[in-house]
Structure 1
Amino acid sequence: MKFSELTADQWAELQPYLDTAVVPVTGLSGGELPYEATEALERLRDVLDLIEGPFKGRTVTYPACHYGTWNDGGEQHAAALCRKLKQSGFKYVVLAAAFYADATRAEAVHADLMIGLEQDGALPEAAAVSEAVRRLWLGR
């Protein structure tokens, strides 16, 4: 579900089932040309599609963090956000990235999982994303 689809009453009822926050991270620096920003947002949309559809009944997608490259303050911002989301009651925080993402980046910001592009810039396989999310929930 998207954060904007939940009223206070619905949240009180559904919170036990919606234990995973999904945070989209674009990683823009502000120096992108308009078409480059568009391309990054399209990549982010494609990554989110791999998470939101299959896991709609258990995830809440938050507003995207568009600006802040990973090496220029974005990492600290993501870490603070992950901590706050867990403090607010989410058991898991998954970052959906429009850039290359690996396990060490997730660990650095205390995210439970980070799903993004492969090292060659390709989208991850849907089956691999599904398996990663399921393994997270099973504690493996």
Structure 2
Amino acid sequence: MKFSELNAEQWAELQPYLDTAVLPVTGLTGAEMPHEATRKLERLRDVLLTIEQPFKGRIVTYPAIQYGARSPELAEQLREVCGNLRTAGFTYIILASAVPLPPAEACGADLSVGPDEDGESPEPGAVSESVRKLWLGRA
């Protein structure tokens, strides 16, 4: 479910069931040519689909953090946003990324889903398994 699909009344009613926030991270630097930025956005869309489709009804996808290279500053920004999402009531935070990120724990998240260091996209089955393990406390 997208954040924009929930009004205040719906949130009050559904919050007990929507315990997981997905925070997309595009990883743009501003140095990309338009076609390169498009490719990153398409990769992020594909990663998000591996989470959103099978788990609709338990997750809320927030707006993407568009800019930020893999750096201590990005990890710090993600820690702050993840902390705010927890304060808002989410038990689990999943980062969905178009680029490799620092480890989820360094960013204040419970799970990070995205390409590996070689740029290989995650397999949908592996993503589903990781999310289920997270919810079962076996992550």
| Contact in 2 for aligned 1:94/1:114 (Cα 8 Å) | yes
**How big is each residue's C-alpha offset from its partner over 1:12-66, in whole Å with a ceiling of 9 and x where there is no partner?**
1000000000000011111111111111101100000000000011000000000
Tell me the percent identity: 60
| Contact in 2 for aligned 1:96/1:114 (Cα 8 Å) | yes
**How big is each residue's C-alpha offset from its partner over 1:111-140, in whole Å with a ceiling of 9 and x where there is no partner?**
000000123212111110000000000001
The residue that corresponds to 1:17 in the other structure is: 17
Amino acid at match of 1:27: G
* Partner Cα distance (1:56, 1:32) in 2: 32
* Partner Cα distance (1:100, 1:3) in 2: 24
Aligned ranges 1:101-140 → 2 under 5 Å: 101=101, 105-140=103-138
* Partner Cα distance (2:137, 2:27) in 1: 28
Amino acid at match of 1:133: V
**How big is each residue's C-alpha offset from its partner over 1:57-104, in whole Å with a ceiling of 9 and x where there is no partner?**
100000000011121622111110001100111000000010124xx6
Unpaired runs of 5+ in structure 2? Answer: none
* Partner Cα distance (1:22, 1:56) in 2: 11
Report the TM-score, using the length of structure 1 for normalisation.
Answer: 0.95
The residue that corresponds to 2:84 in the other structure is: 84
Structure 1 pair 72–39 and aligned structure 2 pair: CA distance change class (3 A) = farther
Amino acid at match of 1:127: G
Amino acid at match of 1:60: V
Report the TM-score, using the length of structure 2 for normalisation.
Answer: 0.95
| Contact in 2 for aligned 1:26/1:41 (Cα 8 Å) | yes
The residue that corresponds to 2:47 in the other structure is: 47
| Contact in 1 for aligned 2:27/2:66 (Cα 8 Å) | yes
RMSD: 1.1
